Amino acid sequence: MKNLVIILLTISAGITTCKSGNSDAGGLFEKENLVAWCIVPFDAMDRTPGERAEMLTDLGFTHFAYDYRDQHVPSFREEINVLKDHHITLSAVWLWADPNADEIPDSSGRKILDILRETGTRTELWLGMPENAFEGVSDEESLARAKTVVSDILHESEEIRCTLALYNHGGWFGEPENMIRIIESVGPDRLRIVYNFHHGHHQVEQFKNNLEKMLPYLSTININGMRVEGPKIITLGQGDRELEMLRVIRASGYRGPIGILGHTEGEDIREVLVRNLEGLERLKKAM
């Protein structure tokens, strides 16, 4: 009987430890879970793919989400190869779609898809739409248009074995409830959401409620310093709301990637990333 009690106590202790471990964020905000984002077109140093990979390695990033402008597309194939050489995962690739344009995606987006196909690269596409894309359009018509565009791009992404996530870039398309409606109308098991702090300053008060709704679909959360009044881009730790938002994320059970932004004009993007990494370390201590 004594041995049985000891065994039961040991099992109980193990269960308690496991529960404690599961309730903790673990590596949620640690370097191995961070994704460098918005660092290509915003880099004043105009780094080559090789220089960018070296920078990411030096800073300890092993995950990178690729954004671009037209002039960067010709070197995208090189970017893919260099990332492999540096053992950096291409976690996502930005894709832009204007539902009012004649060509969806545009020529640069089409080239990006072609290169992914030709290289056999499996990644996630982050689909953004212009903030004003649905201005003057009824809610019902907005949903119908968005569903058509998303369905077409989803079909292409699945053909090249990439996943697709909706990216909140502002406007009607960037509202969490609308992204969820699109997902539910197209296919709940086929689409994801990327939520960006820097496009959600007006949603701060609703963040906890929105996060609970988005949680089943969340792929990545890109964090930023936050003040309701803005500006859009604030260094982590210099806002007055991001700490509470990070606490909400940790408590929610979300365990996916966390994006760290570059996204400033006229700066060495390495310095921007370092500032945000240092700000995140201060926030972690306060959590």
Residues 6+ apart with CB under 8 A from 64: 35, 36, 37, 39, 56, 83, 88, 89, 90, 91
For 65, phi then psi, to 5°, come to: -110, 130
* pTM, two decimal places: 0.90
Summarised one tens digit per residue, pLDDT across range 200-224 is 999 999 999 999 999 999 999 999 9
Segment 251-284, tens digit of pLDDT: 999 999 999 999 999 999 999 999 999 999 999 9
Kindly state the tokens that stand for 123. Answer: 């990644």
List the CATH code of the domain at 28-286: 3.20.20.150
pLDDT tier, 25 (very low <50, low <70, confident <90, very high otherwise): low
Kindly list the domain boundaries of the chain, sorted by start residue. Answer: 28-286
- Give me the pLDDT at residue 49, please: 98
In this model, does residue 7 exceed pLDDT 80? no
CA-CA-CA-CA torsion for 192, 155, 78, 167, nearest 10 degrees?
Answer: -30
**Residue 26 confidence (pLDDT):** 67
**What is the per-residue pLDDT across 88-103, written as a single tens digit (0 to 9) for each?**
999 999 999 999 999 9
